Structure formats: C-alpha cells, structure tokens
Structure 1
Amino acid sequence: MDKEVLMTHSTHRRRALAGGTALVVALTTAGLALGPSAAGYGEAVIEPVETDLAGKDWVTARATSNDADAGLALDGDEGTAWRPAAPTSGSRHGKPDQALTVDLGGAYDGLRKVEVVLADATPARYVVEASADGRRWASLADHRDGRSGAAGTTALVDREGIQYLRVRFPAARPGTNGVAELHAYNYLRDDLKLGADLSYADQERDQPYYLDAEAALAGAPDPGPHLLDVVRDRGMEHLRLRIWNDPRSEATGVETEPAYQGPERSLTVAREIVDRDMSLGIDFHYADSWADPSKQPKPRAWAELPFDELNQEVHDSTADYLTELVEQGATPAKVAVGNEVINGFLYGSEAEIIGTTAPPYFTDEADVYQSQPGGGLLWKYWQSEDPAEQQLYTEQWDRFGTLMASGIRAVREASPESEVEIHAIVDKGRLSKTMEFWTQLLTRLEAADAAPDVLALSYYPEWHGSPEALEHNLHTIADAFPEYALDIAETSYPAASSPPGDPTPLPNSPFPVTVQGQADAIQRVFQIANDVPGNRVQGVLTWEPASWDSMFTWVETSAGTFPEANASLDVYRDSDVRAVLEDSVRVVTAVDGRVRLPRTVDVLSPADGDVDGTRVTWQDVPDGATAEPGTFTVDGTTQHGPVTATVHVVPPR
C-alpha cells in the first residue's frame, strides 16, 4: 500500500469535511444530547457481533448412521434433516445411541449459544453436548425426559475451547426424531484485541477532541480530551506506533523538524499509551519515511553499510530502542519487525532489478542508497527456469531472512515479554505469492531459531479484495501454518467521500461510504478475525482512524473547529455482547389447543458466566391460529431484546 498516495487522499477527505455551516446545522437539528461516553457525529446502529458458524465452509457434520445425510443439519433448510437409522436387532447391549456430531474446525472461546431444530414436532429423548476434543463431553441441554425440548431447544453456553457439538438420541428406536438444523452462535472473544495504529497521536498531542457535540457547538471554553482518552473511552485496547529512524520528507529526503514518529518522540507517546492501561505495539519501518509494498528505502545512516554491518545495525538499533522502552516502563506487547514486507525491506543494490522508483530520494541518490545489497525480494525471478535468476532469487531470500532473524533476535533479547510479528499483505489478491512468502521466510527463520509469534496482514478492500476474500486468505494461512497466531495489523473504511456526498462503496466492498457503512465495514473485519477456528487471530487494528479514513468529523463551533467522534467509533466498544439471550423458543400444541408460552427465558452474562431468567411479554396469539396443523410465530420482548416463539400445531393424539 502506497502511504504517500493514502495520505494525499486523506488530506483531501479531511479538508472536505472540515467545518462548514451545513455541518453545524446537521448536528444541531439532529437533537444530539450526548453524554461523555457517546460518539457524536452521524448515526450508526451497532449490534454485537454474532455469527452462525453452522453455515461456514470449514464446519462439517458426521453421524453414527445415515452419515451421508449429516450435512442436511447444516444446510440452512429446516425442510431437510438428518434422521438416525433404525438400530439393528440382536445387539447384546440393547439399542445403541444415535448421534449427529458437528466439528467446528477448531476451538472457539466465543461460542455462547446453540440452537437445535428437530426434524419433527413430536416427543423425543435427546441430549445436546459440547466437547473440546471429541472424547469428553459436557451436557448443554438434557431432554431425556421426552417431554421438554419439544421440536427443538436453545442452550446458552459458558464454556471455552469448544470444537465439537453433538445431538445424541439415547437408545434410539425406529422412527426416532432427527435434526433439521443446528446453529452455533459465535460472539467476540474477550481476548480479541481491538485497537489502531495511532502514530499520528504524536503531532496531534495538543489537539482537543470533543466527546460532547452539544458542548462543542455551544463553544465550550475548556479544551476537549486527548485523542488517546477518546479512543480508550470507545473501547480500543491496543495502540501501535510506527518508528522511523531519522524522519525525513518522502518528497525531498530532508529531515523533518519536529521529527514526528522518530524514536525519541515516540518514547513519549508510548509512555502515554501504557499510562492509560492500553497495550502497546511497535512497528519498526527500518526506514526514514514510509515503508510499504511499493517502497522499502534503507535509512540514510545505514545506506552505505556492507551487508554484515547492516545486519548488525538492524539487531543493535532494534535492541537499543526496545531497551529504552522497557526501562521507562513501556514494554511493548507486540513488536513488528518491518512494515508490510511482502517485497522484503531495507532495499539496496537489488533495487535496480526490482525496478522501484520510490521514494524520489532513494533513486536520486542511488549511488548512496543502492551502493550495497539489502533485503529486497526479486519476485520477477520467482518460478524462473533460468538457473542464474533462480540463484539471485534465492540469494535475496537468504539476505532478507538474515536481516529479519537479526531483528527478531533483538526483540527476544531486549524485550522477552514482547511477541514478535511479521507484517505482510495478500498482494493484489495473489494469495499464491503470499503463501510463497511465508513458506520461504518461515523456513529460514525456523532453521535460524528465530521464528516469530504472529503472522499479520493488512486488509483494505480496494487493494485486497472482498470480505469473503479476506476470510478465505486467513483460513488458508491458518491451515498452512498452524503453529502461528494471526493478526489484522491494518484495516480502515471511509465515512465520507471526496467530493462529499457520494455513498458508493469502495471497490470490492458491500458497504456504503457513510458513518453506518464505516461501522459495518470495520465490524465485518472484527467478525472475520474472530471466526477463524482455534481462536487464532489475536487482534484487529484500524490504521490511523484520526487521519486516514477518519473516524472523526471536523465540526465548526463558535470556539473554533474541532474533531468530533463519528458514531461509528463506538464499534470498538459495542461489538462485544453483554447479554446472550435465549431468543428462540419452540412450543408444541394440539389443534384447537391452548398455546403455553414460557413466562421467562434464559439470559447469559459472558462477563461472569451467570445464567438468569428474564421475563417475556408476549403479543397475543392470533385468533384461530391453532385451528389446523402447521406453524406460526409469536413475538415477545424482554429487557435484553426480542424473543420469537415458533408454535407447532399438531393433530391431536
């Protein structure tokens, strides 16, 4: 991703949104009455993340009998079902249990609700169970009495590490009921870290960010809170800072003053982050300006070092800076060795073959920056049949791996509590290239005893494909490299277009360019990350939400122009579920019979695992609804949300 292009576009968007009478009128007429913890600009309905895992490609089913039909319980059609076969006669042990088992493809800590829809609205004896290993089972719902759970059941779950679900019919008899559908609902894990790369907090340290739109519009004399306080209030838990060696203008190559995102200034921001009880990430660019897939310039101070000295400098500078962080009490939770390094980093003499022309100072002073070999990768020789080209391809992989290993060893030595991350991308949708990248690099790092902890990707739909493509890519990488955790190190989505007023979604995205679309697009990435089996993805970070694809809107007030948090910023806090409701019940009654709806349903608090009853207020049953066999629904309300009762009307016995 070309950060220079990104920031140019960002500036245009930001200026288009800054101030303006129309904006003030919109905020005033919206009747905002916001407390200190409510986002202000625009509107966004943010519901907790919930995924029915049963519909995912990686979820499979098997059965003790009629196994070919097991998948019918996951096909989303209640008109199809798995039914156990009649047991064979003459068994010494009586009639065996019959069971449908669903494999979720890996462990889930956020699985909180399981719904089983039976094939028939007839009495059945069955048990719903869960397991981490497929051998030891815990009961979620026990309906062996043959009276409860008619037509199906919804069970709330307070267990971690669930991979298998089972519906077991003890001592099944001919005509035993079956399973029409099994739904397994996944919610955000407690340990999924949501946050941002907020490196621009450096130069925005003195910019007030208003939490209360009415106060801002009234010209509140007191400055608003610090940006770090705003994002913490909204639920961000982890913030990443990029580190440039000697910050310089990408256009001119001249060192900048102040040296924003340089090592010294970033020490201060790092301390401010940990002082607010947020975890810290460090992203070494190993450059003086932007390092990304289109450019990876060496720092000027290292440009003419022979390769062995360059390698030592990577180690020493990494270790020295992390030591400073640790000594000031700002130990990073995570350290990225390089930024978006799909094409390598620390480009040197190999840049002539790569063909890079950015940044300008890198080519204008080629005699300096390209005088010695570096760690750029020669992808143009990938799969070449020319032995000389293949040798060059391999040699550059060796150099890149050597440099990366030195950075990783430095992290291990100076900050052993930090996890090490390698940050790449799926380049223009070419997953095969990314898989080659991980295979080549990890093979070398493992051989050097310098393996990382986390494999990370950037995801921007306009460059990296649809949400479904992201899901496919994450699962492919997770399956191929099961020993590593994963991250989404960067993502973003705009809330406003430039010029303003065009809600057309970005390429490859279904979400409009609005405040609501911004919330939905970012939450979709949260959901995809959370749904990878095995709890493999550790976190999701948005990139520079105060600047690029901003989650703030600049509002003109009588006291000046200030950034007001978009309503979409609450996606970090409100995507977590606070109460899981038994929101679906199934009731069986005879023709012309009385419909007995439950007075209460269960509600689970994931925070403490408590399950309590909550009262339901039901709508009236329609007149004549039970006059003949069939089904109908009745809506109910609770303090935790709506409930639906499906009533099965059956002929009298």
Structure 2
Amino acid sequence: MKQKAKLWLLVAGLISLMSCNKVEGKTDSDSSAFAKGADISWLPQMEKSGYIFYNDNGVKEDCIQILKDHGINSVRLRTWVDPSDNPHSGHCSKEETVAMAVRAQKAGMRIMINFHYSDTWADPAHQTKPKAWEGLNFEQLKEALYTYTADVMTALKDAGVTPEWVQVGNEIPSGMVYPEGSTDNWPQLVELLNKGYYAVKEVSPSSQVILHVDQGNNNERFRWWFDNATKYGAKYDIIGMSYYPYWLEGKPDYTLSIDDLGNNMNDMVSRYHKDVMVVEVGGEDTKVQNTYDMLKAVISKVTEVPSNKGKGVFYWEPQGARSWSKYALSCWGDNGRPTQALDAFK
C-alpha cells in the first residue's frame, strides 16, 4: 500500500506540475493558433469622449470583453510619432499605445503593433514624414526611424508586453516616410524598412515583422511590390494585406473579388515562402448580413492557405461606431452594441 501511495503522489505531482506549466507558460498552440483580431486604436479616445459600449444583451461592458466574447483573440494598435489630441486623427502616442497593449494583454489578447512612421494617418494616399524628422539627411532619417522603433519596442518590453507581430509601415504600396522612402527609390525604401526590422528584432527577437500592402485581391500589385522588396533585400517575416471590397473600383461586393484574394495569398506563399495575414478588413455597417458573409469568406480563404501559412484576419476598428467616428465600415450599431457581423469571428 505504501508503494502505491508513493506512486500516486508522484503521478499527482507530475499532473500538478504539468497543469502549472500550461497556465503560466505560452504553449506552441497559442502562438500557432489562428489570429482573429481587431484594430481598436480608437478605443481610448472613444472612452474618453464618453462613448458607452453595450454587449448583445444591452448591458454596459468593457469593449475588449465584448470583442473577446465574439471570438476576437488578438488586438492591433497603431502608434504615431508625435500625434495631436484630435479625437479622430490624433492620440495613439507611444504612451497610449503601451497602456492599451498592457490592458489588452491582461484581457488575454495577443498583440500586434502597427508603426505608421508619421504624426497622423499613413496609408496609400498619405505617408507624411513626422515633423520632428523634417530636415534630416538620409543617414539621420534612418537613425531616427531606428531609434523611434526601438524606443517604442523597449517601452512595451519594460511594461511586460512582447508583441507577437509588428508592422513596419502601414499600407505602403508606394512606400513610406516621403519623399525619401518612396518606391521611386527602392534602395532607400528598403534601407528604411530594414532599419525598422532590425530595431524590432534587437528588442524583441520573437516578434514577427509584417510588411503591409493594400488591395489584397490585386496579385499584380503584390508581385510588383514584393519582387522589388526581394530584389533589394527587404527583411520581413509576414506579408500583410488589406481587403476592403467597399473601396474596390467596380467591385464593391466581396463575391467579385474574394477568389482573387485567396489566389493572391496562395501565390504569395508559393512565390516568397512567407506567411500571410489579412491585417485589415471591413464591410458596410448598413449591410450587416453581407459583411458577416464577407468575413466568413475571408476567414475561410485565409485558413485554406496551404501548410498553415495563413495566420489570421484583423477587422479594422469594428467598435468604431459611425455615430462616433462617422466611419461607415464598423461592426457597431447606433444602439451601442455589436452587430451580427462580428459573430463571424465566433
């Protein structure tokens, strides 16, 4: 009996140890799990303005918890160099981004950080150099970008946050940090991109670096961009895509372009041997069923990418209700509750 008791105690101890490791350590399945994400960078100013979030039952609740209850497991946060306090085109400072990352991580979310390298919106139409970087020569500009990137990453690390993914630039089909980082000068653009990459990896070696181009259904655009990125030696881990059927000329409904999205992702994986993610997606808030169907289709296309190379889908500002933001592509209704479209992530 004594031997049996000892054996039982040994087994029980091993089970207990395994359980503790499971809770306290990040498992392989955690890091390889499909990311169902949301960019919620507007959230701090929405809350500061007094906007109240309600769950499906009409009960006031923390927005991150509502998103989590709808299947969201990851959060994307943008950071601007020296932003204003404008409620729609400001905020997103280093300090605010770090605070949001800590809050999201405490809620069990995985974290993506999105460097715009601007004081405000950076996108295909705008890549305005931060005011503090104006007048710098190219060598100084590279160092400023490196130092800023490392500074934000260090602040995150000091706060106990290790971002799983980091975007170096936001929607950069024509480059970033104009005019030096324009695609009119690919060697210079790649030097800037690589400065961001090295700064990320120095502080957080496990973070995966994403390069992000819009129009994820446009294979010609992606081949041209990533062929040049490859030719000039750009460093990165993941190809990030935006997919907004609403903005596609002549193809406003997703059914006209969803197969192109899937085919482009498969081609990117085959051609460049990288993982792919849809880091921005959105649909019309007034066409809830269509947006729901579109999201289900996008998630399906990403999960179908061979060899588990499709890593996730992020909705851009699903909580950014039109009543507050004037933005037409959220997943939030006038009643302060998420629409059925968000259920696509469940």
TM-score tier by shorter-chain length is 0.7 to 0.9
Matched residue SS, 1:208: coil
1:320: Cα distance to partner?
0.9
Indicate whether 1:191 and 2:33 are aligned.
Answer: yes
Q: Report if the CA contact (8 A) 1:197-1:544 is conserved.
A: yes
Comparing 255-264 and 273-282, the one that deviates more? 255-264
Q: Superposition RMSD on alpha carbons, in Å?
A: 2.0
Q: Which has the larger radius of gyration?
A: 1
Structure 2 gaps of 5+ residues are: 1-31, 252-256, 321-326
Task: Pick one of 470, 489, 495 that aligns with 2:279.
Answer: 489
Q: Residue 202 of structure 1 aligns with which residue?
A: 44
3-state secondary structure, aligned to 2:150: helix
Q: CA deviation at 1:445?
A: 2.7
Q: Is the 8 A contact 2:276 2:310 kept in 1?
A: yes
State whether structure 2 residue 67 is matched by structure 1 residue 225.
no
Cα offset, 1:246, TM superposition = 1.0
Deviation (angstroms), 1:413? 0.2
- What runs of 5+ residues in structure 1 fail to find an aligned partner? 1-189, 217-223, 249-254, 349-373, 379-395, 497-512, 556-562, 574-653
Structure-1 residue corresponding to 2:246: 462
CA distance in 2 between partners of 1:315 and 1:399 (Å): 14
Choose from 222, 229, 234 the match for 1:441. 229
Tell me the alpha carbon deviations over residues 445-491 of structure 1, each in whole angstroms, 9 at most, x when there is no partner: 36xxxx21101110111345511111121122122112x11110101
Please state whether the residue corresponding to 1:232 is helix, strand or coil.
helix
Matches for 1:211-360 after TM superposition, within 5 Å? 211-213=55-57, 215=58, 224-248=60-84, 256=86, 260-348=91-179
Q: Which amino acid letter does the alignment assign opposite residue 377 of structure 1? A: T
Tell me, yes or no, if the aligned pair for 1:235 and 1:572 is still in contact at 8 Å: yes
Aligned residues: 299
- Aligned-pair CA distance for 1:430: 4.9
2:244 partner letter:
Y
Secondary structure of the residue aligned to 1:552 is: coil
Q: What do residues 241-276 of structure 1 show as CA deviations (whole Å, max 9, x unaligned)?
A: 01111114xxxxxx6489511111111111110010
More strand by share: 1
Q: Which amino acid aligns with 2:44?
A: D
Equivalent residues in 2 for 1:49-60, closer than 5 Å: none
The equivalent position to 2:306 in structure 1, one of 533, 544, 551, is 533
1:500 aligned partner? none
- Structure 1 pair 290–478 and aligned structure 2 pair: CA distance change class (3 A): same
CA distance in structure 2 between the partners assigned to 1:567 and 1:463 by the alignment: 22
1:212 to partner: Cα distance = 4.5
- In 1, the alpha carbon distance for the partners of 2:34 and 2:175 equals 28
How far residue 443 of structure 1 moved from its aligned partner, in angstroms, is 3.0
Task: Please report how far the alpha carbon of residue 444 of structure 1 lies from its aligned counterpart in structure 2 after TM superposition.
Answer: 2.4
Contact 1:422–1:456 (CA under 8 A) maintained in structure 2: yes
Preserved CA contact (<8 Å) 2:45 2:87: no
CA contact (8 A) 2:76 2:114 kept: yes
Residue 523 of structure 1, CA deviation: 0.9
Higher helix share: 2
Change (3 A) 1:520 1:212: closer
Q: State the AA in 1 paired with 2:311.
A: Q
CA distance in 2, matches of 1:546, 1:293: 23
The offset of 1:305, in angstroms, is 0.6
Cα shift readout 1:143-196 (whole Å, capped 9, x = no counterpart): xxxxxxxxxxxxxxxxxxxxxxxxxxxxxxxxxxxxxxxxxxxxxxx8211111
Q: Distance in 1 between matches of 2:95 and 2:340?
A: 34
- Find the aligned partners of 1:299 and 1:320 in 2 and give their Cα distance: 16
CA contact (8 A) 1:201 1:228 kept: no
- 1:142-157 alignment to 2 at 5 Å? none
Aligned-partner SS, 2:233: helix
Q: Does 1:402 align with 2:191?
A: yes
Report the secondary structure of 1:204's partner residue.
helix
What is the rounded CA distance, in whole Å, between the counterparts of 1:436 and 1:257 in structure 2?
36
C-alpha distance in 2 between matches for 1:246 and 1:237:
29
> Secondary structure in 1 aligned to 2:46?
coil
Asked whether 1:567 is paired with 2:340, we answer yes
Residue identity opposite 2:199 in structure 1:
A
2:297 aligned with 1:524: yes
Report deviation, 1:425.
Answer: 2.2
AA of the residue aligned to 2:339? N
Q: Which amino acid aligns with 1:487?
A: M
| Matched position secondary structure for 2:42 | helix
**Offset at residue 518 of structure 1 (A):** 1.7
3-state SS of 1:282 partner: strand
SS in 1 for 2:160: coil
1:488 counterpart letter in structure 2: V
Rounded Cα–Cα distance in structure 2 between residues aligned with 1:410 and 1:301: 19
Closer, same or farther in 2 for the Cα pair 1:340/1:564, shift >3 Å? same
Judged with a 3 Å threshold, the aligned counterparts in structure 2 of structure 1 residues 326 and 441 are, in CA distance, closer, same or farther, namely same
Identity %: 29
User: TM-score of the superposition, structure 1-length normalised?
Assistant: 0.44
Q: Give the deviation of 1:330 after TM superposition.
A: 1.5
Q: Deviations over 1:43-89 (max 9, x none)?
A: xxxxxxxxxxxxxxxxxxxxxxxxxxxxxxxxxxxxxxxxxxxxxxx
How many Å apart are 1:240 and its aligned residue?
Answer: 0.3
1:204 is displaced (CA, Å) by: 2.2
Work out the CA distance in 1 between the residues paired with 2:87 and 2:269.
Answer: 43
CA distance in 1, matches of 2:92, 2:196: 19
Q: Which residue of 2 aligns with 1:357?
A: none
